[in-house]
Structure 1
Amino acid sequence: MKPYQQIEINECGEPLVPIPPEYFAFETPHPYQKLGAPYHNSKTNSPYYLRQGVVDSLVAAQTQLQQNHQNLQILIFDAYRPVEVQQFMVDYTFNQIAVAQGCEFPVSEDKRQVIIEHVYQFWAVPSLDRATPPPHSTGAALDVTLVDKNQRQIDMGSAIDEISERSYPDYYAAGDEPQKQEYHRRRQILKNAMNAAGFQQHPHEWWHFCQGDQMWAWLTNHNNSGTQVIARYGRY
C-alpha cells in the first residue's frame, strides 16, 4: 500500500463528464487505445472524461496558462482510466521491461518480482478494492503536457510514461546546461498553471496531476500544517 492510499474517501457522487474539446489539445489517436486497452467495457468508452469539478478546474488551468503564455495550450494525454485499462497497461509495461531485459517467458518468479516492483514505482496497482482505487480510475487524475500554437508538443525532457528518474518533476532543476534549464522551465510553466487551479502534481511524474482523489488529499495534507482534507472522489 502506498502512503496516499491510507487517506479516507468520502465519495461525493459527482458525475464523469467529457473534457470540452474547445479548450484543449488531445493526444489522438489515444495511446492506450492504440495498444488495444479495453475502454469498450467502461462506462464512457473514452479516456477523455473527468469528474465535473475537475473539468472546471482544468479549464481554469488553461485560462491561467494563456494569461502568461498565449502561445501555449494544455494537451490531454490521458484522463479517466477504468481498472481494466490500468491492469492492461501494467501488464503491457511489465512485458516491455521484461523483453528489454532479455527475459525468457514465462518470467521466473524472482525476476518477476523485481520487474513488478519497478513497474509499480510509476503505475498504480490495479486494485478493485473501493478503499484503494488507482488514481486515474476515480476520474480525478490526468496526464497532460503542453503544445505550441501549431499543436506541436513541447519537449519536456522525457516522454510521458517514461520509467526513469528523468520523469521526476524536478529532475532538471539543478542542471547547469541551458537545455536542462529550459526543460525545467517548461515543466514549471505547466506545474504553475495546474497548481494555480488547485491541482497537485505526482512526486515522480511531471505530467500527472490530480484534484480531489486520495493522492491529492495526501499531497495537500503533506504540504499544509493546517486543516487536513480527505478524498472526495473514489473509484467510478
Structure 2
Amino acid sequence: MRVALMITCFNDALFPDTGKAVLTVLRRLGVEVDFPAAQACCAQPMVNTGYLDEAVPVVRNFVRAFEGYDAIVAPSGSCAGSIRHQHGLVARRSGDAGLATAVARLAPRSYEFSEFLVDVLGVEDVGASFPHRVTFHPTCHSLRMLGVGDRPQRLLRKVHGLQLVDLPAAGECCGFGGTFAVKNADTSIAMGADKARRVLETGAEVLVAGDNSCLMHIGGILSRQRAGVRVMHLAEVLASHEGAA
C-alpha cells in the first residue's frame, strides 16, 4: 500500500513535530510513508470563505501531488474533511469533468489520522506510553463532517499509563473556526473560554485533540490563564514512549 502524508499548512508552518510524530507512529507499525513535495494547501480556507473559483487551482495541485497513492493521511479532521467533502464541490463547479473524476477517486482514499489507524490498519494499541491524566477535545469537522466518533479515545485508552477523563460538553465548538476567529474575535474568545473552563473541570494535565488549530486556540487561553495544562496533538501522544520500562 502506497501511503502519503498530507501535513497541512498549519502543521507545516507552526507545528512540525506533529508530522514527525505521525511518521514515528506509522513506521512503528511497519507503514512506509511518502511526503509528496508538491503538496500545498487543501483549499479549505478559500472554500470556507466563499472563494470557490479561486480554490480550483489549489484542488488541481492536490490531485497532481497525491494521485497514485492508495491512502492519504492527514493529522487534521478539518483538512481531511475538506478533501473528502469540499473538493468535489469545487471540482464540479469548475466544469472540468477530468478534475471531478480525479477528486472522486482520491476523496475516499483520504483519512484523518485516527481513521487510518483504526479503520485501515485495524490497530488501536500503537505501543505508546504516556503516564498522564488526559482529556480529549473532539474537533468540529472530525465529529460533524467525518464522523470520526470515538476512534481517538479508543487509541488513547490503549496508551500505557494514560488516564483518560471525559471532557464535559465535549461536542461544543472551541470557537476557532479558521477565519471565524478573526472576523468574530469576541465570540471566538468567549467560546474558547468556555472550552478552557471545561478542560480545567477535568483536572487533566494535558488536553489532546486531532487538530492543532483548535489546540492553538484553547491552549492560548489556558496559557494566558497560567492554568498549567499542556496541549498536545493526538499523534504526539501516540508517538510517546514516556515512562516506558
- TM-score, normalised relative to structure 1: 0.31
**Larger relative contact order, structure 1 or 2 (CA cutoff 8 Å, min sep 6):** 1
Q: TM-score of the superposition, structure 2-length normalised?
A: 0.30
